[in-house]
Copies of this chain bind each other. A is one copy, B any other.
Amino acid sequence: MSMLARRKPEAEASPRVLRSLQATCHARGLGALAERIADLDGFIQDDLMQIESVLREIKTPDDVVGRSAQHLLSRGGKRLRPLCVGLASRLGEGGFNASARELAVAVELIHNATLLHDDVVDLGDRRRGHETARVVFGNAASIYSGDWLLIEALRRVHTADVPGVLLRLLSTIDEMIAAEALQLARRDELVADRDVYFRVIEGKTASLFRWATYAGARAGLLGEEECECVGRYGENLGLAFQMIDDALDLKGDVSVVGKDLLADVREGKVTYPLLVMLEAEPSVATAIEQMAGSGTRPEEGSSADEGSSADLETARRDILAALERTKAVEVTMALASDYAQRACQNLEALPPSLARSALEAVSEALVVRDR
């Protein structure tokens, strides 16, 4: 952290994804990887600053829809998807040109659009440390601001005019919607189904990472076949990223773990650690259902009384013990590392380059992050 404190003010504006990855590597004694990330910072910082500045200057409408979109956009976020576009574009001779910049901005807009719609569907109250747009501006504004960001993103992709990239984005959004539909269909079901789990995270997360890296490479004028490889890198990176997210949700302190676990279960999200635990110890489902059932909101009636608070504490402890015994979090982190490695293997067909090393470093650092 002292290193960060010594930075000059203007450097503070540097996108947080790199600083965060670097700090993680330092904290874990991964000095060499931290060095590589530091190099990466120099290599890509200008590109990221450009993306950030375009994002900041987006003219949202002067109405409740615009304010709702701005509410989420201005909170930042990891900007990991734009980073993927930027680095992928640097693999080719075209580099980080105006088209790549537009595509990087677009992928962040798409990501934010899906968050705005998801929060309405999941009745999400908090995001990025603040109240969600739907809480502040209402569900209607949240829906329309998601629509607005989607349209703004598509306009930029159209203007970027990179062959094949717009049609692929439309298919990607279809995949994202199909994954949402699958998740809706499984809502409130506590079933350990690997096939469903992978279809959901493939559609919801990995498909947009695949598009981001493919589109970036394409904008950077890489050949079609190489672009496909870079797209597969993105897909595997996205899978790894989602699994780590799932695992980190369960690594906090006991009270937080309980809350996140229940929120996921209630939304029909059997995350990978949960899947591992349920496969190994199916009986833990009873404890999970007990806790999930107790989570009905007060105004929905007090049938939850049946589970006394002592019973709930027992259920919570049973779950945590099962998580511990089955090493569900560690198993998840290990599988995420596997996918991160596969991501790097997808780049082996490309000649060595600074951009390729950077993408490899991102993939390695992502699976050791702690937030």
Contacts and interface: CB of A to CB of B under 8 A. Distances in A.
Given A65-B178, A158-B170, A178-B63, A184 B140 contact: yes
Interface stretch (A5-13, A46-54, A144-152, A320-328): A144-152
B181 A63 contact: yes
A28 to B, nearest CB: 39
Q: Give this chain's copy count.
A: 2
A170 B63 CA distance: 18
Contact of A154 (B63, B121, B154, B181): B154
B63 A141 contact: no
Interface string A64-96: 111000000000000000000000000000000
A138 B183 CA distance: 14
A180 B142 CA distance: 12
A138 B121 CA distance: 10
Contacts of A117: 143-144, 147
A159 B185 CA distance: 32
Contacts of A141: 181, 184
Contacts of A63: 178, 181-182, 185
A181 B121 CA distance: 20
Contacts of A159: 167
A155 B170 contact: yes
A167 B144 contact: no
Select the residue from A138, A141, A170, A181 with max chain B CB neighbours within 10 A: A181
A27 B170 CA distance: 47
A33 interface: no
A177 B144 contact: yes
B140 A143 contact: no
Interface in A39-65: 61, 63-65
Interface string A175-215: 00110111011000000000000000000000000000000
A240 interface: no
A313 interface: no
Contacts of A151: 170, 173-174, 177
A166 to B, nearest CB: 6
A139 interface: yes
A64 B143 contact: no
A120 interface: yes
Given A141-B184, A185-B63, A167 B158 contact: yes
A274 to B, nearest CB: 21
A74 B333 CA distance: 47
A65 B144 contact: no
A132 to B, nearest CB: 15
B166 A148 contact: no
Given A141-B184, A143-B120, A155 B178 contact: no
Interface of A: 61, 63-66, 117, 120-121, 138-141, 143-144, 147-148, 150-151, 154-155, 158-159, 166-167, 170, 173-174, 177-178, 180-182, 184-185
9 contacts: A63-B181, A63-B185, A65-B180, A65-B184, A120-B139, A121-B139, A147-B150, A154-B170, A155-B167
**10 smallest beta-carbon distances between A and B, as pairs:** A63-B181, A121-B140, A65-B181, A155-B170, A151-B173, A144-B177, A148-B177, A151-B170, A144-B180, A64-B181
